[in-house]
Amino acid sequence: MTHPSEQSSESLLVQVSDPLHLNTYSLVLSAADITHRIQYLAADNIEIYVMARQLERALYELAAYDSENRDWPPSPRPDTFVPTFRAMSAVVVGILLLVYGLAGGWHANSQWFQKGAGDSSAILNNLEMYRLVTPLTLHADIVHLMSNCFLAVFLLHFFFHLTGNGIGLMAMLGTASLATLINVLVHGPGHFFVGFSTAIFSVIGMLCTISFAMQTKRLAAHFFMPVMSGLALLAFLGSSGERTDLGAHLFGLLCGLVGGNFVRLPVFASLRSSFAGQTILGSTVLTIFVFCWFIALNS
């Protein structure tokens, strides 16, 4: 601020009507070490004065600031991504129905269940790692199958719409397989399991992370909103019952919550719009699925 006796050597720099612009211009002038005086004529008429000898430099600093910050912050671009093939969730459900038509429900003499069902003893002792994948497509009975299919067709539709088919399939298979492995390690030998629910809960976790993590910059919300939303879904969709594998649901959810952060990485954002990349990832998942069942049935 200048002394009143120096006001005769001042020059009017700019008139503003917005207090926000006033504060911004004042900060710019202060950062440039330009002495200035603010005079309030009315609520919407505020003048900024500078020393006459500094007028040219002050005008340059404000012009440079306005030029650098024009159109800032940029308007958010709407997400217009749509998968090329929009019925992948129906394809996944179709595969579940096909395998059930071939294998049927759980019975002890079924070759499909003997060789493809989840068996923690076979995984831990014989390293039959294909059993991390094959149980996802087996179901105990028609009620078990239809409940998973009903959830999958809706959840996967929204999930693939966000990620694309290839990334979504790979993320789903990776998180579900990891969750199954963790569940096997926790239970130890003698644990048997089948069903697509582990993959469903991993997708729930990833949807929670992707949907909520970018809504706010607060770290607490980043962590607690996905966790609390996922736990609510865990309780709602079933965490008890004689045939319910709580560990598979819980670890599927947790792996999904973590995996969702990887799906949001910039590399996946660029890969999402790549038809070739999505096709390669989707084909890889299909190959893994067929290969695991080939190994299982021919072991």
Q: Is the pLDDT confidence value at 240 over 90?
A: no
Confidence of residue 221 (pLDDT cuts 50, 70, 90): very low
Q: Is the pLDDT confidence value at 5 over 60?
A: no
Query: What is the overall mean pLDDT for the chain?
Result: 83
pLDDT at 28: 87
Confidence of residue 2 (pLDDT cuts 50, 70, 90): very low
Greater model confidence, 238 or 297? 297
Of 54, 53, 55, 44, give the one whose Cα is nearest residue 21: 44
Query: Once rounded to an integer, what is the mean pLDDT over residues 3-17?
Result: 71
pLDDT at 58: 85
Question: H/E/C letters for each residue in 5-69?
Answer: HHHHHEEEEEEECCHHHHHHHHHHHHHCCCCEEEEEEECCEEEEEEEHHHHHHHHHHHHHHHHHC
pLDDT at 294: 96
| Domain 4-68 belongs in CATH node 3.30.465.10 | no
Q: Give the residue extent of every domain in the chain.
A: 4-68, 88-297
Per-residue pLDDT of 268-289, as tens digits, reads 878 888 899 999 999 999 999 9
Of 133, 220, 223, 130, give the one whose Cα is nearest residue 169: 133
Output the CA–CA distances (angstroms, integers) from residue 278 to 78, 85, 115, 260, in the order listed.
21, 11, 31, 17
Query: Once rounded to an integer, what is the mean pLDDT over residues 175-203?
Result: 93
Per-residue pLDDT of 125-134, as tens digits, reads 999 999 999 9
Greater model confidence, 81 or 197? 197
Of 52-56, 124-128, 248-252, give the range with the top mean pLDDT. 124-128
Report the CATH number of the 88-297 domain: 1.20.1540.10
Q: What is the largest CA-CA distance in the chain?
A: 103
Of 155, 162, 159, 158, give the one whose Cα is nearest residue 81: 162
Of 258, 93, 260, give the one whose Cα is nearest residue 162: 260
